Amino acid sequence: MFDRLRSFVLGPESASRMPERVEQVIAEQEIRSERLIGWAQLAVGCVWTALYAVAPKTFDPDMTFEPVPVALGLYVAFSVLRLVLLYRNLAPRWLLGLSVVVDMGLLMGLIWSFHLQYMQPAAFYLKAPTLLYVFIFIALRALRFSAGYVLLAGATAALGWLGLLYYALSTSTAADMGVTRDYVAYMTSLQVLIGAEFDKIITILLSTAILAVAIVRARRLLVIATVEGAAHSDLSRFFAPEIEQRITSAEQQIQPGRGELREAAVLICDIRGFTPLAMTTPPGELMALLADYQHRMVEGIQGNGGSIDKFLGDGIMATFGAALPSESYAADALRAIDDLGRLADEWHAERRSQEEPPLEIGFAVAAGPVVFGAVGDANRMELTVIGDPVNLAAKLEKANKAEDSRALTTAATLRLAEAQGYRPPRQIEVRPARPVEGLDSPVDLAVLLA
């Protein structure tokens, strides 16, 4: 039943397409809405009680029972009970539906009691402006984004007013208290104009229908927004914050084949000897190892303004100044190397203390002009950097083995970083004219971590 109703509200395939976690988010919103409705109901009951307490009483002194105080007391007590159950998550759907009927029942009961309170024929209450409270109770149900409760409220109100009309007509005994077609007579006497009463009922029903349609449309938007919000939250875990910001704030849709020239630094880190380790380690343990390693390295990279470009198995490629332009991209990259070396040492020590084989990590940084943009096709794209610094950083990381070092950069990158404010925490050895595999000419290298 619920799936059919949801299919009507959200679309024919929504019941099977909406993930459980999205349903959970919507359910939490509905609970908050019901609590808000409960407080509004209690406030209305308290206002009615206060108004009744200060209003002059005109009941027949011979009456032994006054219905209004009892009805108000029961309504306030029911509202309090409903709130308690809502906050304890113990309110079933039937109770929420019952509260709709109770709201309208109390209102109709109060209107019905007017002819007793003011000692008038029953037709007297048909002219009471208190009927306008019907629209408050109907509108309250719109807070839940559920058209069913709005329709129930409107239908209950229409049936209640029909019942009051029937009672007024069935108890009219005098000739001047029956049905009339004269509008002036209707307004100046206790006669009933059937058309006027049906106008009230039609107004209630049409207002209910319009509000229900609006809620259906609003609920669809709520579901779309919830799904997109969940997707945004999930996707943010796959993209660096800078990439996510660029995608979501782009004035135009990002298209492949477009790029921007940036001055940036590229950092690469890689676990040494990972391939033979992967061949002898169970898959679960291997992925846990990678997750631990990547978590530690990402902390040091992002803590210095870096953006994760991609994970390359046991390697990580990060950029500084590409996704988010910076005036200190080279300095930030070398500061990140300092932090990454410390984090790697801590990880090394932890693994030794747990009697696990320590793993060495190599680092490299290269700076220069890169092209930052989208590659791929219209259906599958990736924001990345292309340029000499990318290739140079990869070659420098491999050169760590030949140089017996842990982190390398070029002397030119080191000078640029120092010009941007970088202050090395230790003496950095510069090795001039060193051969690097894959490069045509020797390069002046700087050993960041020996």
Domain ranges of the chain: 2-235, 241-449
* Residue-level pLDDT at 44: 81
Hey, what are 304's tokens?
């210095």
Q: Could you tell me the pTM of the whole model?
A: 0.56
Question: In 250-328, where does DSSP find H-type helix?
Answer: 274-280, 283-302
What distance in Å separates the CA atoms of residue 395 and residue 401, rounded to the nearest whole number?
11
The dihedral through the CA atoms of 6, 9, 14, 20 has a sign that is negative
What distance in Å separates the CA atoms of residue 317 and residue 307, rounded to the nearest whole number?
9
Query: Do the Cβ atoms of 343 and 296 come closer than 8 Å?
Result: yes
* Residue-level pLDDT at 56: 64
CB atoms under 10 Å from CB of 150, counted, come to 28
pLDDT in tens, the chain (450 residues): 444 444 444 444 444 456 676 677 777 777 888 888 888 888 888 887 887 777 766 555 565 556 777 777 888 888 888 888 888 888 788 888 888 898 888 889 888 888 877 778 888 889 888 899 899 889 888 888 788 889 999 999 999 999 999 998 888 776 556 788 888 888 888 888 888 899 999 999 999 999 999 988 888 887 777 777 766 666 555 555 655 565 555 545 555 667 788 899 999 999 888 888 888 888 888 898 888 999 999 999 989 989 888 888 889 999 999 888 889 999 999 999 999 999 999 998 888 888 887 788 999 999 999 988 777 776 666 778 888 999 999 999 999 999 999 999 999 999 999 999 999 988 899 999 999 998 889 999 999 988
What distance in Å separates the CA atoms of residue 181 and residue 1, rounded to the nearest whole number?
46
Question: In 171-251, where does DSSP find H-type helix?
Answer: 183-188, 194-235, 241-249
Hey, what are 161's tokens?
């007013």
Q: Residue 273's closest CA among 314, 321, 241, 328? A: 314
What distance in Å separates the CA atoms of residue 162 and residue 111, rounded to the nearest whole number?
13
Question: In 1-123, where does DSSP find H-type helix?
Answer: 2-10, 14-17, 20-54, 67-87, 93-117
- Kindly provide the b/e burial profile for residues 203-223, where b requires at least 16 CB atoms within 10 angstroms of the residue's own CB: ebeebbeebbeebbeebeebb
* Residue-level pLDDT at 426: 87
SS3 for 430? strand
What distance in Å separates the CA atoms of residue 322 and residue 299, rounded to the nearest whole number?
18
Specify the CATH class of 241-449 in words: alpha beta
> For 147, how many CA atoms within 13 A lie in the half-sphere containing its CB?
21
The residue assigned the tokens 């984004």 is 145
Q: Which amino acid is at 9?
A: V
What distance in Å separates the CA atoms of residue 165 and residue 305, rounded to the nearest whole number?
73
DSSP category for residue 56: P
Query: Do the Cβ atoms of 368 and 388 come closer than 8 Å?
Result: yes
SS3 for 445? strand
Provide CB contacts within 8 A for 298, sequence distance 6+: 308, 316
Q: Which amino acid is at 355?
A: E
